[in-house]
Chain A
Amino acid sequence: MSYATAKLEEEKVFKDPVHRYIHVRDQVIWDLIGTREFQRLRRIKQLGTTYLVFHGAEHSRFNHSLGVYEIVRRMVDDVFKGRPEWDESERLVVLCAALLHDLGHGPFSHAFEHVFDLDHEEFTRHIIMGDTEVNQVLSRVAANFPLKVSNVIAKTYENKQVVSMISSQIDADRMDYLQRDAYYTGVSYGHFDMERILRVMRPREDQVVIKSSGMHAVEDYIMSRYQMYWQVYFHPVSRSAEVILTKILHRAKALSETGYKFLHEPTHFQAFFDKNIELEDYLALDESILLTYFQLWMREADPILSDLSRRFVNRKLFNYVEIDPAKDYQKLRELENLFRKAGIDPQYYLVLDSSSDLPYDFYRPGEEEERLPIHLLMPNDEIRELSRSSDIVDSISGKRRTDHKLYFPEDILLENGKKKTLRKQILEILKG
């Protein structure tokens, strides 16, 4: 038996609150889970700053990655196996891609990537292709196997059906995170009948389609996704924490560029400040390291860095008002000037943050709409785009919802002392 087909003597199971059990029989999967790069995902939270609003949301990318693997395992072993449109030789590559799809996420992913201009997908690729334990495991399957796994995750793999299982408008990634995030946040949205969806999935050329009898389960899934985005992922208080976290990193970076002497040398960040990042620098960082630095930076002499760090650690977040940049553009300019006059740096204390989501989109030929639609398999074998059959989905198809909020520290504006009148004036403008 080759390494690619080697099975564990006894099946291993992980207890999981979402899928009950996660089953591992393949030696390759078991070995990948044991690598240091995969274990690092235990120290990266799945929902970043959301735990500051929904205190249960402490789950990690490790849990989620196992969950995506389990969903794909069930697709290939329980539903697709033996069907002529499924190529069984793709089984291991899709299982590995499912397990490793989030491998390159950094601490507090989006804020961190934004400040240091990084791309987690690029790091996923580097970890899979570089001098790592993950690469050693994958290379034992075949010399070109790491590249195949990397291509599936990067969506550049030849077999689009395999890509779509992990990345499409109804994929294993979304099906896991919606249910998992709902469970850990404790919200009642995010639930849908995944068992039903799995049972009605069918492999077809370049895609996975849904038997039309499963349409209502898919409608439920799309509505769950819509609710989760606006109730959990875009929660304004969680966004406030992310705004502050972003500004802490911006400030530390700006101070480093001016030669500021930190009380504690930020050695873990030096490569990021210098834009000279090796894979080891990236792997050495996790959320526990960032939180340690935030604790240390609370005692820094720089008033902005210490204030922002204190706010994050003690959850003294910014307040916010709704704003329409299209109408309020001049007001934003005026506010920036007033903040400067009041001695409050608007670069760190007046932040416009936008959230936007497109719950479902269909394909418009010839133009740049990049989402592959969900297709239903009709009883006569015809393939039909979902919104043509579902009134519910049709009503939200292609409709993007965006909202903008302006974040600011109300406590500073309410302080007594210097320029109190000016601060009061700012607050009046903000509150309209």
Chain B
Amino acid sequence: MLEEHAKVVQFVSLAGQVTGRKKLQKMVYIAKKMRFPFQEKYQFHIYGPYSEELTLRVEELCNMGFLTEEKEDKGSYVQYRYAVTAEGTSFSTMLGKQHDKLPEVINMMNDRSARFLELVSTLLYFDELTKEEQIEKVHVVKGKLNFTEDELTDAFEFIAQLATVSIQ
């Protein structure tokens, strides 16, 4: 019972802290695409793949006192920062040790911006397409974000790096 909740706590714990709801959403999605066993269902929404289940789980974990959510006023918008409490750390021990490669994948993602992870997760959402089709799709569904060629190259390189540490 509550194993999926514990996985999310462990995820944030390994990251230290995660800044932004969007960033957390994309990080879990990317980890899932790298075959780490997260159960949250994702659908394509405004910012790319999004999981209502994950939103709900995080909210519950905050209510349970296992995660903290700090609001930061950025003027035109509010940003949220997530971290694990001492009770949360104890709660997540029910899972035992995490997968060996998970901390490395989380660190790689947490060093990147939410915008970049949005691009990576969108490319991964269309990973059944050819590279050219993936790029075209990004321009169609994310036209207003104007991703540059450099960003796209960086994103493909990042996906290749992730693949070397993903679960095969």
Contact = CB atoms under 8 A, between A and B. Distances in A.
Nearest to B57: A354
A370 B126 CA distance: 19
A367 B20 contact: yes
Nearest to B62: A326
B2 A325 contact: yes
B140 interface: yes
B64 A329 contact: yes
Contact of B78 (A155, A354, A367): A367
B80 interface: yes
Main secondary structure of the interface of B (DSSP, over half): mixed
B166 to A, nearest CB: 17
A402 to B, nearest CB: 7
Given A332-B1, A364-B77, A370 B45 contact: yes
Given A346-B1, A367-B22, A400-B59, A326 B79 contact: no
Given A156-B140, A325-B60, A352-B2, A370 B65 contact: no
Interface residues of A, number: 28
Interface string A348-365: 001110101000000011
B74 A366 contact: yes
A78 interface: no
Interface stretch (B36-44, B97-105, B146-154, B156-164): B36-44
A356 B78 CA distance: 23
A404 to B, nearest CB: 8
Contacts of B140: 156, 158
Contacts of B50: 368, 370
B77 A368 contact: no
Given A326-B64, A367-B22, A402-B60, A372 B1 contact: no
Contacts of B39: 117
Report, nearest first, the 5 A-B pairs whose CB atoms are least far apart: A366-B77, A370-B45, A368-B21, A368-B22, A326-B64
Interface of A: 113, 117, 119, 121, 154-156, 158, 325-326, 329, 332, 336, 346, 350-352, 354, 356, 364-368, 370, 372, 400, 402
26 contacts: A119-B41, A121-B43, A156-B126, A325-B64, A326-B64, A332-B2, A346-B1, A350-B1, A351-B1, A354-B56, A354-B60, A365-B77, A366-B78, A366-B79, A367-B22, A367-B77, A367-B78, A368-B20, A368-B22, A368-B47, A368-B50, A370-B46, A370-B47, A370-B52, A402-B59, A402-B60
